[in-house]
Amino acid sequence: MNYIIDPPAQPSLPVTGSAQRFPIRRVFCIGRNYADHAREMGASVDAAAPMFFCKPADAVVADGADVAYPSITTDLHHEVEMVVALAAGGSNIAPEAANALIFGYGVGLDLTRRDLQAQAKAKGHPWDVAKGFDHSAPVSALRVAGEVTLDDDSVLRLSVNGELRQQTRLGEMVHGVPQIIAALSTLFELKAGDLIFTGTPAGVAALQRGDHFHAELVGVAELDANII
């Protein structure tokens, strides 16, 4: 096919143990999926109505590359999250069918321009500029689902400059992965290549230029990178 301009590069992630890469279609995120994080943000959790937002696929930072400190903010926050990658999708997916759609798991950061988010909240405006900016989604290599054993006691954590900032058990999620996939599929037709950020626990805080972060979904995926 001939295009009038060169098509953009396909965002992708490495796959642990493979030379092949995972192409990224869309990036979905769930907000307030850990009650302790909702409390620290002065919010509450509505378990009956999960809250979703999106990031552009090209916001993903792969391969442990440096993460550029974004413009128009003085309060860049880290939010460590388990990331789920889909090998298939659909609409109105039943929770019991959701796990069969998963390609693999990783760990990532939902970087947030917290000052811009606070301004948007105060005015009742959307959060897009606070969440969907360039380089706002560093993600690890993906581990194929068949190689992974996850349960309620699986640990998600983040350290910055060697100091533990965030840590939780996956069992603390308000909505589990099957429930997230099912709820998303009522709003969007999910497809292969979609990434889902599954929420962050308490402990979010500021990152500065020169910081080094280490994110880990223990036994599954790790991500190291620098803020520049």
Burial class of residue 133, CB neighbours in 10 A (0-12, 13-18, 19+): buried
Given a cut of 70, whether residue 38 has pLDDT beyond it is no
Give the chain's end-to-end CA distance (angstroms, integer): 38
Give the amino acid at 83. Answer: V
Express each pLDDT in 57-101 by its tens digit: 999 999 999 999 999 999 999 999 999 999 999 999 999 999 999
- The Cα 103–Cα 115 span in angstroms is 35
> Is residue 86 a contact partner of residue 192, using CB atoms and an 8 Å limit?
yes
Across the chain, what does the average pLDDT equal?
A: 96
Express each pLDDT in 111-137 by its tens digit: 999 999 999 999 999 999 999 999 999
Q: 153 in the Ramachandran plot: left (φ > 0), alpha (ψ -120 to 50) or beta?
A: alpha
Residue 149: partners with Cβ closer than 8 Å, 6 or more residues away: 219
pLDDT given at position 1: 84
> Is residue 25 a contact partner of residue 193, using CB atoms and an 8 Å limit?
yes
- Give the pTM: 0.96
| Domains of the chain, start order | 21-43+56-226 (3.90.850.10)
Mapping DSSP to helix (H, G, I), strand (E, B) and coil, where does residue 60 land?
strand
